[in-house]
Amino acid sequence: MKKILIVDDDIDLIMQYTPVLQQAGYQVTAAYNGQEGFEKFQAEKPDAMIVDLAMEHFDSGFRLCRQVKKTAEGQKIPVIIMTSAAHETGIALSVGTEEEKQWIAADDYLEKPVSAKDLVLYLKEKVFKE
């Protein structure tokens, strides 16, 4: 069973995603800020992480992704930023090039809102290629 760590300060979003992901066969662990996210990453050793960008600080997700990707375990797992930053600021993020991936320190980027069902499809088809 693949383990997903969701790091987002939106408790409602995590409560919406968790049962759908569990029903799809994933084990879900949640954290609600960057520090807790890194602690759970170290303790839980997830197979993938989904990280909000703006949590306790506007760039908490970037900081967490960089912290995770500096570890040997973090380099092996997909880390996906999921945010509404582009919608709110008009600044779109991209992972189209290796330079862009290194800049955001994530393997992919999803623009919120993402339905729980679409997230399951994304994980199955693009992340885990099931």
Number of helices followed by number of strands (H, E) in the chain = 7, 5
User: 107 near 101, Cβ under 8 Å?
Assistant: yes
| 25-69 per-position pLDDT tens digit | 999 999 999 999 999 999 999 999 999 998 988 889 999 999 999
| 55-107 per-position pLDDT tens digit | 988 889 999 999 999 999 999 999 999 998 766 666 677 777 888 878 788 99
Report d(CA 76, CA 127) in Å as an integer: 12
